[in-house]
Amino acid sequence: MKHTTIVILAIVSIFLCSGCATAQRGAIMRAQNGIKDGDYEFSLRRLSEAEKYTIPKPDVLAEIAYLKGVCYEGLHKPDEARAMFKYVADHFANTDYGYMAKEKLSQVEK
């Protein structure tokens, strides 16, 4: 009986975690759509939501931070945008988002 309970709890944990990752991805997708529509405040809320579902994996964290930088840029908050792009460039240098953040930083410095 004890073994069965442990197995059931393990299965439930797996489903809950995968559900969190799916919800996280959905929040990021809604944020991307908000960015396309120019609704940066909405997008920032969705990105903060995405961070809370589950601890983001490094590639997801890089995406969230980069998108936050894009939002701050759209809201004409250059210091916040620069800080987010620098964070991504420094911590995720060899990823697609790291390269895009470096490009954003080089544009800001011109």
Long-range contacts for 36-39 (Cβ within 8 Å, ≥24 apart)?
A: 38/74
Q: Domain count for the chain, please give it.
A: 1
Name the band, by pLDDT with cuts 50, 70 and 90, for residue 19: confident
Q: What is the CATH number of the domain that holds 37?
A: 1.25.40
Domain that holds residue 47: 2-108
Report pTM: 0.81
pLDDT band (50, 70, 90) for residue 4: low
Q: Can you tell me the mean pLDDT for 26-37?
A: 97
Long-range contacts of 38-43 (CB under 8 A, 24+ apart): 38/74, 40/70, 40/71, 40/72, 40/74, 40/75, 41/71, 41/75, 43/67, 43/71
Which residues, including other chains, have CB under 8 Å from residue 83's CB and lie 6 or more apart? 69
Q: What is the pLDDT of residue 110?
A: 62
Place of tokens 């004409």: 76
State how far the Cα of 71 lies from the Cα of 5, in Å rounded to an integer.
46
Judged by DSSP in three states, 76 sits in coil
Alpha-carbon Rg for the chain in angstroms: 17
Task: State the average pLDDT over residues 93-108.
Answer: 93
CA 93 to mean position of chain CA atoms: 16
| Amino acid (1-letter code) at residue 32 | Q
